[in-house]
Amino acid sequence: MKMTPVALLLAAALTAGGCGDDESTAPTGPGTVVIQFDEVAGSDALVLNTGQYTNAVGNEYSVSKLEYVVSAFSFPAAVARLRADGDFTSTALHYRTMEDAATASLTFADVPSGSYTGMGFTFGIDGADNATGTHPDLDLDGMAWPAMMGGGYHYMRHEGNFTDSTMATSAFTTHLGPSMGNDYSFEVSLAHDFTVSPGETTTLTVRMDVNEWYVNPNMYDFNDHGPIMGDPAAQTTLQANGASVFSVAP
């Protein structure tokens, strides 16, 4: 059949539209996102028991235990990306302990492919979901928060030794949680552009800098604090300091 000039133009347009970066023909399907948890003390990797660290307060310390709970992850979709499913959200709760390498990663399967601008999560467990007995796995992990101090579950157990103001060895036990029935969990929002491709895995490293718990914006000296599970003022201080603790590692 002889094609008219118009038909030729139409054919050319259709052909051109079929090649290159047309989103309507881009591969679809979900991918996987793996969150790797990494812990540091300033510029040093955190090593249990043997590492020696100094924070901006001047506390020289070692760490014997670090474990924490994060929950309710979300990946905000890039605004420019047109996609029907929008942000990715999960109600998953994750217990991370440095004593078990198996807890160093958290996998999200079936994440819609596309571009994302970052991630958000709750440090700890939102108060509405943090009642005694509601997370049996955390019970078995020893993260239960006593009923007499409000019930629910710890957000974090950070324990170790430090050299106190008398140059003796003392200990710190920073236990964060729903002290006296109050909700000290907080939202973490981390900006980080990433892409999820169909059938592929994207790995993101979430880094906790433990030094930041004790310096920013409030200086928190181990010498001035004993156990704090029943200390709402200390919980409030550390909740505020938590805003700068997490980052996405390059």
Partner 1 sequence: MKRFVLAALAAVALAAGAGCGEDTSGPAEGGPTPFTPNTDGLFPFPDTPDNLLTLEGVALGRELFHDPILSGDSTQSCATCHLQTAAFADPRQFSLGIDGSPGTRNAPVLVNLPWSPDFFWAGRAGTLEDQAREPVPNPIEMNLPWDDAIPRLRAHASYPGMFAAAFRTEKITQDLVVMAIAQFERTLLSQDAKWDRVMRGEATFTAEERRGLALFESERAECFHCHGTKLFTDHRFHDNGLDAMPADIGREAVTNFPYDRGKFRTPSLRNVEVSAPYMHDGRFATLEEVIDHYSTGIQDSPNLDPLLRVIRPGAAFTAPEKADLLAFLRTLTDPVFLSNPDFGPPE
Positions that interact with partner 1 (CB under 8 A): 49-50, 64-65, 99, 136, 139-140, 142, 144, 146-149, 159-161, 169-173, 226-227, 229-230
Q: Which residue has the tokens 């054919």?
A: 11
Q: Is the peptide bond before 217 cis (omega within 30 degrees of 0)?
A: yes
The minimum distance between CB 250 and partner 1, in angstroms, equals 32
The minimum distance between CB 169 and partner 1, in angstroms, equals 8
The minimum distance between CB 235 and partner 1, in angstroms, equals 13
> For residue 115, what are its two tokens?
């571009």
Residue (136 or 217) nearer to partner 1, CB: 136
Report the Cα 247 to chain-centroid distance in Å: 8
Residue (97 or 122) nearer to partner 1, CB: 97
The whole-angstrom separation of Cα 14 and Cα 102 is 51
The whole-angstrom separation of Cα 242 and Cα 123 is 9
Report the Cα 43 to chain-centroid distance in Å: 19
Residue (72 or 175) nearer to partner 1, CB: 175
The minimum distance between CB 179 and partner 1, in angstroms, equals 11
Residue (79 or 167) nearer to partner 1, CB: 167
Residue (216 or 223) nearer to partner 1, CB: 223
The whole-angstrom separation of Cα 135 and Cα 48 is 27
Whether the CB-CB separation of 110 and 151 falls below 8 Å is answered with no
The whole-angstrom separation of Cα 205 and Cα 211 is 18
The minimum distance between CB 187 and partner 1, in angstroms, equals 27
